[in-house]
Structure 1
Amino acid sequence: MNWIANYVLATALLAGTAQAAPLPSTNATTTYHRVLVDGVGIFYREAGPESAPTIVLFHGFPSSSREFDTLIPLLATKYHLIAPDYPGFGLSDAPSPSAYTYTFDHLAQTMSDFLEKLKVTQYTMYLHDYGAPIGFRIILAHPDKLHALIIQNGNIYKAGLGAKWTRIAEYWADPKAHPEVLNAFLSFEATKDRHLAGTSHPERYNPDTWNSEYTDLSRPGQREIQGDLLYDYRTNVASYPQWEAWLRKHQPPTLVAWGEHDPSFIAAGAEAFRQDLPHAEIHLLDAGHFALDEKTDEIADLILQFMAKYPE
């Protein structure tokens, strides 16, 4: 009869597990969620106690919140981390451009509404790559909500644009006349190079990362989505002076941790923050565009030291 009792007990435990409410993230354990924002399903990672100061992590192209997988546990014992995927990226919905307008204005509005839905009213922002133009739009719309800034290869200065942007500017002028620019931008070689170009430690980079990113870029509809965003990137460059002026006026606490060998957003973009933020902490790291891939511990230490200086 013991096996019958054990079977009944196991069945009851499994049934209880299936009906249990999701456990909140109270420590370094990351939890995974979806929420509907403006009709779009937004996937996000979360870790750390909700009572702790919040750091919102905005990812780059063509990645997703997965780029923060190694960083989140190193910060979540002290901070509340939220890392969403933008519409069209990662595990968030990717509605067609006929149903969702893929501009940086629209991505920023969706991410702002996402934070409002989660009732996140005060935060530090970690901005990487595409995260910078998205984040700065939110900051200028809601300056009272920003506690501090962490910038990692997130450019807002013309001095930070590498050589490849000359060709991209041709695409902005006439996208139909330059399909080869978009082809190169979405290619497997470019996807891989965004990680490996400029690094002296290629062994620290997981090939699964760019293979997965290229698989995402190859999904139906992605060429149109990413083509729209690449074309709209010209509005970010046009907005640089406005964002720079905001920094000069408001002087938020700012940490810049920059992979100095990034060929896309070159080191001059990191140094340029000094002209508007003389008190910013600026660190040039021996790394490329995805500096977190090889400098996770160093960047985590810089963030922990920086945040300790500016408690909420």
Structure 2
Amino acid sequence: MTYGKIGAALAGAAAFVASAAMAGPLPSTTATTTYHRAQVDGVGVFYREAGPKDAPTIVLLHGFPSSSRGYDKLIPVLATRYHLIAPDFPGFGQSDAPPPSAYAYTFDHLAQTTDLLLEALHLDRYSLYIFDYGAPVGMRLALAHPERLQALISQNGNVYREGLGAKWARIAEYWADPSAHPEVLDAFLSPEATEQRHTAGTSHPERYDPDTWTDEIARLSRPGQREIQAALLHDYRTNVAAYPAWQAWLRQHRPPTLVAWGANDPSFVAAGATAFRADLPDAEVHLLDAGHFALDEKNDEIAALILPFMAEHVPSP
């Protein structure tokens, strides 16, 4: 669905949000975010939680180089109707960041740790919101526990080669021989790249809080971060190799799927959104006039797509 065609959908979704808000008062604490830590898989994992615990759960999986903080504006909107869990992966945000000698920074391991957290929280049914690095973590969870997945929401969460932007050709050189291409890692972790992940492709720069990327730059500058992020960037090749298996899983299980994609993202391009239709003909696919961190400028629009989608496919009790 192109920019011009989403107007009616967003208007209808906005009306749904308004009617949902008028459906009756909820306890004022349901939308209040609380902050927690759990010790799982030998590492301390931080997570945000909001919403009624007896409501359907949405697990929000963040990307690079951000954390669950990226969902701060979305959580209160969804938490009036749904239970939200947003963890920080090890090495990110407020979670522990042990050195690679003590914790293997692979996407298999991030998924294992996240799985153990969800089990520790006794969550055996949930929907997944996948974004950036959260997509390979989420797809591993889906393949491991297909019976647990109620719905899938992808916001620039890529699972198709068609979605890989031009920069991935250089990253592929790094995968082949990291020691021969330190400049790829340098560019990947640079302050300029960290800012541009947010601002590239935006038509609304005034909606972007510069504290977001300055905080990310500060975190990437911490001791040990270069080694952690180098390990994950190198392991990202396993995600691309797994794309065919993930696509086959989507065709087989046909989870209700909403794709809300920042179409101006230079990293995961718009073709990665429309590619979902090949495996999931019933998927809702929306291309938004936004960049990679689409929530930074399209929080209300994305929430207005999620609420009616969830109400249709995973209604609250």
Deviations 1:7-28 (A, max 9, x none): xxxxxxxxxxxxxxxxx99411
Contact 2:198 2:291 in 1 (8 A): yes
Deviation at 1:83, TM superposition (A): 0.1
Say whether 1:64 aligns with 2:71: no
Deviation at 1:58, TM superposition (A): 0.1
Say whether 1:171 aligns with 2:168: no
Say whether 1:286 aligns with 2:294: no
Q: What amino acid is the match of 2:84? A: L
Deviation at 1:38, TM superposition (A): 1.3
Say whether 1:111 aligns with 2:114: yes
1:150 aligned partner = 153
Identity %: 74
Contact 1:153 1:289 in 2 (8 A): yes
C-alpha separation in 1, matches of 2:158 and 2:216 = 21
1:301 aligned partner = 304
C-alpha separation in 1, matches of 2:29 and 2:112 = 28
C-alpha separation in 2, matches of 1:265 and 1:235 = 17
SS in 1 for 2:259: strand
1:36 aligned partner = 39
Greater mean alpha carbon deviation, residues 198-207 or residues 24-33? 24-33
Aligned counterpart for 1:212 among listed residues 211, 215, 219? 215
Deviation at 1:93, TM superposition (A): 0.1
C-alpha separation in 2, matches of 1:208 and 1:176 = 33
Contact 1:25 1:48 in 2 (8 A): no
1:192 aligned partner = 195
Contact 1:35 1:42 in 2 (8 A): yes
1:247 aligned partner = 250
Contact 2:264 2:291 in 1 (8 A): yes
SS in 2 for 1:27: helix
Indicate how the Cα distance of structure 1 residues 26 and 144 shifts in structure 2: closer, same or farther if over 3 A, else same: farther
Deviations 1:203-259 (A, max 9, x none): 000000000001111100000000000000000000000000000111100000000
Say whether 1:129 aligns with 2:132: yes
C-alpha separation in 1, matches of 2:60 and 2:250 = 19
Runs of 4+ in 1 over 4 A off after TM superposition: none
Aligned counterpart for 2:278 among listed residues 261, 275, 278? 275
What is the count of residue pairs matched by the alignment?
289
C-alpha separation in 2, matches of 1:115 and 1:311 = 19
Deviations 1:271-299 (A, max 9, x none): 00000000000000000000000000000
C-alpha separation in 1, matches of 2:198 and 2:28 = 30
Q: What amino acid is the match of 1:30? A: T
Contact 2:152 2:256 in 1 (8 A): yes
Contact 1:25 1:49 in 2 (8 A): no
Aligned counterpart for 1:202 among listed residues 175, 200, 205? 205
C-alpha separation in 2, matches of 1:135 and 1:174 = 27
SS in 2 for 1:289: coil
SS in 2 for 1:34: strand
Q: What amino acid is the match of 2:183? A: E
Contact 1:56 1:123 in 2 (8 A): yes
Contact 1:161 1:269 in 2 (8 A): yes
Q: Structure 1: 5+ residue runs without aligned partners?
A: 1-23
C-alpha separation in 1, matches of 2:189 and 2:197 = 11
C-alpha separation in 2, matches of 1:36 and 1:311 = 30
Report which of the two structures shows the higher radius of gyration computed on alpha carbons. 1
C-alpha separation in 1, matches of 2:91 and 2:121 = 20
